[in-house]
Amino acid sequence: MLKRFWSWFWFIVGATYFLVPLYATFDFSLRARRGEVSFVAYANVLNDIRFVESFWFSFQTALATIVISALVIVPTAYWVQLRLPRLRPVIEFFTLLPFVVPAVVLVFSLARTYSRTPLTDSREGLWVLLVGSYVILSFPYMYRAVDTGLRSINIHDLTEAAQSLGAGWFTILARVIFPNVYTALLSGAFITFAIVMGEFTIAALLAQPAFGPYMNLLASSKVYEPSALAIISFALTWAAIAAIQWIGQGSQARVAGPR
């Protein structure tokens, strides 16, 4: 009984810590007109074309990051587990580097390295550099999620079974490995998505019209709109994650059973 009480106690403390600021932000966003509750701040945000553009830009960037990251991470993690298990600690170390290298250092290093290439000479090039930076930022989350996913299936036997049935490496990756780490990949993708949607430093330093710099800009020039934007972006990010999960639901259900 006492144990149950403490479980609920800590749950309520945690929920309060999370929900009270959210409610306070929501409540504040409704006070744009003195003396009344209104959605004026929301209307202002939604009518601002920069909001739609920056959100759409970051959304596309996040999807591109997830796709490229998956294409890099899944074959790498697969090959390391299958053929180079001794390299695993080394690869893990490299994937953790984004935790210790500040974003500002990362972006200046990239900009300097590619300063005389098309990557810094054009808007599209800078976007590629931005996605490249985000792919690096996603490594710790994506690699760990995929690595754990691969460990939950017997990749050695699955690979050999597919080989004995005539499959080459591309077929094995596309038809056997990718579908079976889909769930793990999704969990890494959710975190990557949330990070990219709110990222400020790299996007601002590469002068990209992303959602993070827009939020920052709004916060420095308006009073109630930033709060409304925070609530909107919170809702949209969750909606986007729910959509990704819904798309991946079929595959999840298939591989979720006991093995």
Chain positions contacting other proteins, by CB under 8 A: 153-154, 157-158, 160-168, 171, 175-176, 179-180, 182, 251, 254-259
The least distance separating other proteins from the CB of residue 259, rounded to whole angstroms, comes to 6
Q: For residue 31, give the DSSP letter.
A: -
Nearer Cβ to other proteins, position 36 or 157?
A: 157
Pick the closest to residue 29 from 235, 168, 179, 177 (CA basis). 235
Separation between Cα atoms, residue 37 and residue 22, nearest integer Å: 17
Q: Which amino acid is at 153?
A: I
Separation between Cα atoms, residue 6 and residue 137, nearest integer Å: 38
The least distance separating other proteins from the CB of residue 115, rounded to whole angstroms, comes to 44
Residue 233, classed as helix, strand or coil, is helix
**Contact status, residue 162 vs residue 172, Cβ threshold 8 Å:** yes
Q: For residue 86, give the DSSP letter.
A: G
Q: Which two tokens stand for residue 136?
A: 């690096």
Nearer Cβ to other proteins, position 244 or 255?
A: 255
The least distance separating other proteins from the CB of residue 89, rounded to whole angstroms, comes to 21
The least distance separating other proteins from the CB of residue 238, rounded to whole angstroms, comes to 27
Nearer Cβ to other proteins, position 30 or 186?
A: 186
The least distance separating other proteins from the CB of residue 143, rounded to whole angstroms, comes to 21
Nearer Cβ to other proteins, position 63 or 255?
A: 255
Nearer Cβ to other proteins, position 50 or 175?
A: 175
